[in-house]
Amino acid sequence: MNRMTVDEDAETLSFGADFEKSRPLLMSEVALVMQTKTGPKNDLTTVGDIFTKTLEYTQRFSRLKRKAEITEARAILEKYKDLHPFEAVQIANLAITSGMDEEGNIGEEAYELIPSLVSKVDETTIGELLQELDSLYYDISSK
């Protein structure tokens, strides 16, 4: 069998054939899907240890708890057409903030954590996206 090998590399947004038609998920979406597997009473006795630990992890680090909040975050991310879906999800999952660094640059953290952004999305655009997400997170936390 002659198969072409594809190097997977998040920095160049190369993920291989398995991910070409897949949509990356927000951690909050993963938690929501996993919760449906435990049933309405959140019965963890029917699932394994790895599932339980993964569910606990996603719940701990999910900033969005309700489906409406997730939908709103997705709508914000999808407005930024220059972003690859993986980049958009990473910005949300890594909880990157819009705060300025010591030199007054907005979005430096995003560029450091997601190197593929450097050559395609300017600082103003990143700043606007981060501010929109910060606003959503603030609205949620103040409820």
pLDDT tens string for the chain (143 positions)?
445 555 788 878 888 888 888 899 999 999 999 988 887 676 777 788 898 899 999 999 998 989 999 999 999 999 999 999 999 999 999 887 766 666 666 678 888 899 999 888 888 888 889 989 989 988 887 77
Q: Which residue has the tokens 């630990």?
A: 53
What is the reported pTM? 0.80
Phi, psi values for residue 13, rounded to 5°: 60, 40
Going by C-beta distance under 8 Å and a sequence separation of 6 or more, which residues neighbour residue 25?
Answer: 33, 89
